[in-house]
Amino acid sequence: MAGGRLITVEGLDGAGKTTLVAGLLPALRERGVRVEALREPGGVALAERIRALVADPTLSPAPRAEALLYAAARAQLVEERLAPLLAAGSWVLLDRFIDSSLAYQGAARALGVEEVRAINLFATAGLAPDRTLLLALDPAEGRGRLADRAGAPDRLEREGEEFFAAVAAGYASLARDEPARMRVIDASRPAEQVLAAALEAIDDLLPAPR
């Protein structure tokens, strides 16, 4: 899309996605890249409202309804913000994208990876990341990090150990299937080492240093 690049960051809750995106933004700008950061679900008003719904621990959406809510939020983000940014030549760092639905709803909710992929390809008009950074972390460590955060856990964060083990296995399977796109990064390391590994993983996409 006219020079735009879509870099997605994936992983379990607590893996450090937000921290990595915050580190990548200035590093990419130092290389002369015009870049913006967005998150999923969210990034635009309608998708933020859906984010509030899927995070609400007082609600219990059925697995298929949950998958469709995430796809709807994604469709709005692509239409309203993501596709225009890429078409204008901007890079986008996106905290979660289709792979999250494949791992969480397709694998962990047992809806089927290909079934969930189909509704998301429709939602995004087939938009695919140029590179995906998968922050790999033991589920127990991720849950420990979440416990250290301020505030009550959201609906998904309240799921049990088996659920997050299934999510991690789903991500690992996706990474094995698409090694050229998905680059696995050990998220148990210090944040500066994770950032360095992420920059190395996208180095072939970056312009030469000025």
Alpha carbon distance 36, 28 (integer Å): 10
Query: What gap in Å lies between CA 113 and CA 32, rounded to an integer?
Result: 37
Domain 5-205's class? alpha beta
Q: Which residues contact 8 (CB under 8 A, 6 or more apart)?
A: 94, 95, 96, 97, 99, 129, 131, 132, 133
Count of residues in the chain? 210
Which residue in this structure is represented by tokens 């792979």? Answer: 99
Average pLDDT over residues 187-193: 97
Render pLDDT for 27-84 as a digit per residue (tens, 0 to 9).
999 999 999 999 999 999 999 999 999 999 999 999 999 999 999 999 999 999 999 9
CA distance 121 to 136: 25
- pLDDT band (50, 70, 90) for residue 150: low
The pLDDT > 70 percentage for the chain reads 98
Determine what percent of the chain falls in helix, strand and coil, rounding each to the nearest 5: 55, 15, 30
Average pLDDT rounded to a whole number, residues 135-146: 88
Supply the pLDDT for residue 158.
86
Q: Cβ of 169: how many Cβ atoms within 10 Å?
A: 14
* pLDDT of the residue at 2: 47
Separation CA 170–CA 113 (nearest Å):
9
The rounded mean pLDDT for the chain is 94
Sketch the domain layout of the chain as residue ranges. 5-205
Q: What is the pLDDT of residue 25?
A: 98
pTM of the model: 0.94
Mean pLDDT, residues 79-90 taken together: 97
Q: How confident is the model at residue 1 (pLDDT cuts 50, 70, 90)?
A: very low
